[in-house]
Structure 1
Amino acid sequence: MNKITLLMLVLALTGCGKSEPNDTVDSLISHPDRLREVERQCTDSDAKMPAAECSAASEARHRLFIGRGPQYTPSKDAPKF
Structure 2
Amino acid sequence: MKKSFPFLLAVALTACGQSEKPKQADVPTVDELAADPARLKELRQQCKTDRARLGDVLCNRVAEATRKRFYGDGKTPYTSPKEAPKF
The normalised TM-score by structure 1 is: 0.58
Q: 1: distance between equivalents of 2:35 and 2:58? A: 15
Q: 1: distance between equivalents of 2:51 and 2:66? A: 17
Q: 2: distance between equivalents of 1:38 and 1:65? A: 16
Q: CA deviation at 1:37?
A: 1.2
Q: CA deviation at 1:38?
A: 0.9
Matched AA of 1:49: L
The normalised TM-score by structure 2 is: 0.54
Q: 1: distance between equivalents of 2:26 and 2:51? A: 17
- 1:26-65 equivalences under 5 Å are 26-65=31-70
RMSD: 2.2
Q: CA deviation at 1:21?
A: 2.0
- 1:2-81 equivalences under 5 Å are 21-70=26-75
Matched AA of 1:44: T
Deviations 1:35-73 (A, max 9, x none): 111111100111111101001010000011011214xxx
Q: 1: distance between equivalents of 2:70 and 2:58? A: 18
Q: Secondary structure at the match of 1:35?
A: helix
From the CA coordinates, give the structure whose radius of gyration is larger: 2
